[in-house]
C-alpha cells in the first residue's frame, strides 16, 4: 500500500502539468526578419503549445509539394469520405461521396479554415489522416522545426499535437521561400464555393499595410494564434503570436509588435516629400474669394481615400432578440460553433430589453450581441453566420439602437 502511495505522489506533478497545459493557453510570441534572420522579439518562443489551425500551414505545404512535383494539379479532384464530413466546424459542410478540386480545397483552408477539407486533403494525399500527420511531422523535422509534432491535418484538439512560435515562424519562412507561386494564395480575402462567399479569418489582410499572409488558429486549449507575413520596402518580417485571449486583442498585439520594427506606422498615410528639383520654378498665383473658401467642400469619396479608416473603432454584432433567455444562450453558442476562429471563447453580451406589443403591453426580450470587434472582423463574422442561416447585424459601438 505504501508503495502505491509513493507511486501516486510521484505521478501528481505530471498529472498537474497535464491539467494546466490542457486548461490554459500559453502565451508566446516571436518576431524575425526573414531577410537578415535577425530575431527582434522572443517571448516563450520555444515553449510547446497547441498550434490549432496554424497546423493547416503544414497541410498546405504538402499540397504545394504535390503540385510542384506534378503529382496533382489545381483541377485534380479529392474524394470526400464520411469521416471527413463528421469533422466539427469550421467546415464547408461537404457531403460524403462528393468531390472537391484541389484549388477549392486550398482556398477553403486559406479563408474558411475548413476542418472537413483538411481531412479530405490528408486522406487523398496520405491514404489516411494518421499517415498524413506522420508525413507532416517528417517534413517539419526536415525544415528544422525540431519541437513540432502533428497528429492531424486540421489542428483540432489532440494532446500530442504541439509546436512552438519559433517553429511556426520557420514554417512561415519556408513555405514562402520554397513555394512562392502558391504562397500568394494566402492573401486571398474571400472565395465563393457553391454560391456561398467565405471570408478570410486573417484580419490583418487589407488593414495592416504590407500583409500578404498567412494563417490564424483557435481552439479552447490554444487560445487565439496567428502567423503573419508583412513586407515593406524590401524587408519582410514574420510574426507569430500564440495564446491570445481574443481575436481582436491578438491582432492588436501583433500590430504593436510589428510596428516596433517598421519605420512607418499603419495609422499614418504614406506621404512622399518632393525633391527640390521636382518643385515648380515659378510659384503659381492662387486667387480665391473668401466666400468661396467658406463654401468649398471636399467630396466624401476624396476624403475616404485621403484619410485612412479608423481601425481602432469598436464594432459589435447583434444576432437576435429572444423571448427565452435559454434560447438566447443557444444562439450565442451556435454562433461560436459556426465561427470559432473569430468568436471562440468571446463572451456574449445578453441584455434584457422591452418591446411594446400591439395592445400596449410591455414585452421583454433577451438581446444577444458580441462586442469589442474590429469592423472587418464584425462584417466577416456576419457573412459566415448569414451563410449558415443565422441572423446577424454588424454595427459600430456608437450605435446604441
In Å, the largest CA–CA distance within the chain is 101
Contacts of 369 (CB under 8 A, 6+ apart): 316, 317, 318, 319, 348, 349, 351
Is the pLDDT score of 170 beyond 80?
yes
Is the pLDDT score of 280 beyond 80?
no
C-alpha cell at 279: 518643385
Does the predicted model carry a pTM greater than 0.85? no
- Are 241 and 217 in contact by the 8 Å Cβ rule? The answer is no
pLDDT digits (tens, 9 = 90+) for 117-140: 999 999 999 999 999 999 999 999
pLDDT of the residue at 63: 98
| Active-site residue, from 81, 90, 113, 207 | 113
With left for phi above 0 and alpha for psi between -120 and 50, is residue 240 left, alpha or beta?
beta
pLDDT digits (tens, 9 = 90+) for 60-76: 999 999 999 999 999 99
- Mean pLDDT over each residue of the chain, to the nearest integer: 83
pLDDT digits (tens, 9 = 90+) for 7-39: 444 443 333 333 433 334 789 999 999 999 999
Q: What band does 106 get if pLDDT is binned at 50, 70 and 90?
A: very high
Question: 261 burial class (0-12, 13-18, 19+ CB within 10 angstroms)?
Answer: middle
pLDDT digits (tens, 9 = 90+) for 213-245: 999 999 999 999 999 999 998 899 999 999 999
Task: For 7, list phi and psi in degrees, rounded to 5.
Answer: -60, -40
**Quick one: which of 37, 46, 51, 40 has its CA closest to 257?**
40
Question: Residue 253: helix, strand or coil by DSSP?
Answer: helix
Alpha carbon 135 to its chain's center: 25
Q: Please give the DSSP secondary-structure letter assigned to residue 204.
A: T
Average pLDDT over residues 88-93: 92
pLDDT digits (tens, 9 = 90+) for 343-355: 887 888 899 888 7
Distance CA(156)–CA(87), nearest Å, equals 9
Alpha carbon 387 to its chain's center: 19
C-alpha cell at 355: 418591446
Average pLDDT over residues 303-317: 52
Average pLDDT over residues 309-332: 81
**Quick one: which of 225, 203, 224, 199 has its CA closest to 213?**
203
- Are 147 and 46 in contact by the 8 Å Cβ rule? The answer is yes
pLDDT digits (tens, 9 = 90+) for 284-302: 343 333 333 333 343 444 3
Distance CA(401)–CA(398), nearest Å, equals 9
pLDDT digits (tens, 9 = 90+) for 354-386: 876 666 677 889 999 999 888 878 888 898 888
With left for phi above 0 and alpha for psi between -120 and 50, is residue 328 left, alpha or beta?
alpha
Distances 370 to 194, 285, 296, 350 between C-alpha atoms, Å? 28, 55, 41, 9
E-strand stretches of 220-314: 223-232, 235-244
Question: 323 burial class (0-12, 13-18, 19+ CB within 10 angstroms)?
Answer: exposed
First-to-final CA distance of the chain? 67
| Active-site residue, from 53, 81, 154, 163 | 53
CA atoms within 13 A on the CB side of 145: 26
Percent of the chain with pLDDT over 90: 61
pLDDT of the residue at 177: 97
- Tell me which H or E stretch contains 211: strand 211-219
Known active-site residue 113:
yes
Q: What domains appear along the chain, each with residue ranges and CATH number? A: 24-259 (3.40.710.10), 315-396 (3.30.70.1070)
| Active-site residue, from 29, 56, 246, 380 | 56
Known active-site residue 53:
yes
Distance CA(148)–CA(209), nearest Å, equals 30
C-alpha cell at 302: 476624396
Task: For 363, list phi and psi in degrees, rounded to 5.
Answer: -120, 135
Amino acid at each position: 500500500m505504501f508503495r502505491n502511495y509513493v507511486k501516486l505522489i510521484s505521478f501528481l506533478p505530471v498529472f498537474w502539468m497535464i491539467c494546466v497545459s490542457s486548461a490554459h493557453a500559453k502565451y508566446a510570441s516571436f518576431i524575425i526578419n526573414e531577410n537578415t534572420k535577425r530575431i527582434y522579439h522572443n517571448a516563450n518562443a520555444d515553449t510547446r503549445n497547441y498550434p490549432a489551425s496554424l497546423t493547416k500551414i503544414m497541410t498546405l505545404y504538402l499540397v504545394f509539394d504535390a503540385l510542384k512535383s506534378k503529382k496533382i494539379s489545381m483541377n485534380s479532384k479529392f474524394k470526400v469520405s464520411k469521416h471527413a464530413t463528421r469533422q466539427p466546424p469550421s467546415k464547408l459542410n461537404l457531403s460524403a461521396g462528393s468531390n472537391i478540386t484541389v484549388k477549392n480545397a486550398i482556398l477553403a483552408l486559406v479563408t474558411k479554415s475548413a476542418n472537413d477539407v483538411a481531412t479530405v486533403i490528408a486522406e487523398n494525399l496520405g491514404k489516411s489522416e494518421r499517415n498524413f500527420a506522420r508525413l507532416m511531422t517528417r517534413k517539419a523535422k526536415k525544415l528544422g522545426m525540431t519541437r513540432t509534432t502533428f497528429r492531424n491535418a486540421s489542428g483540432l484538439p489532440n494532446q500530442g499535437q504541439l509546436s512552438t512560435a519559433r517553429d511556426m515562424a520557420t514554417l512561415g519562412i519556408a513555405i514562402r521561400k520554397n513555394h512562392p507561386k502558391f504562397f500568394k494564395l494566402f492573401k486571398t480575402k474571400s472565395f465563393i464555393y457553391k454560391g456561398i462567399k467565405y471570408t478570410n479569418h486573417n484580419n490583418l489582410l487589407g488593414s495592416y499595410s504590407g500583409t500578404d499572409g498567412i494563417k490564424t488558429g483557435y481552439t479552447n486549449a490554444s487560445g487565439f494564434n496567428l502567423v503573419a507575413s508583412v513586407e515593406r520596402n524590401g524587408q519582410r518580417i514574420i510574426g507569430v503570436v500564440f495564446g491570445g485571449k481574443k481575436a481582436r486583442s491578438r491582432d492588436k498585439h501583433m500590430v504593436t509588435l510589428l510596428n516596433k520594427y517598421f519605420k512607418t506606422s499603419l495609422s499614418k498615410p504614406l506621404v512622399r516629400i518632393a525633391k527640390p528639383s521636382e518643385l515648380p520654378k515659378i510659384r503659381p498665383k492662387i486667387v480665391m474669394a473668401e466666400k468661396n473658401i467658406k463654401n468649398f467642400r471636399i467630396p466624401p469619396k476624396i476624403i475616404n481615400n485621403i484619410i485612412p479608416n479608423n481601425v481602432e473603432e469598436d464594432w459589435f454584432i447583434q444576432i437576435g432578440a429572444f423571448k427565452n433567455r435559454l434560447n438566447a444562450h443557444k444562439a450565442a453558442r451556435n454562433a461560436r460553433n459556426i465561427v470559432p476562429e473569430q468568436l471562440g471563447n468571446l463572451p456574449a453580451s445578453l441584455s434584457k430589453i422591452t418591446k411594446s406589443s400591439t395592445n400596449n403591453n410591455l414585452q421583454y426580450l433577451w438581446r444577444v450581441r458580441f462586442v469589442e470587434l474590429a469592423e472587418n472582423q464584425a462584417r466577416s463574422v456576419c457573412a459566415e453566420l448569414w451563410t449558415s442561416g443565422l441572423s446577424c447585424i454588424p454595427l459600430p459601438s456608437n450605435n446604441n439602437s
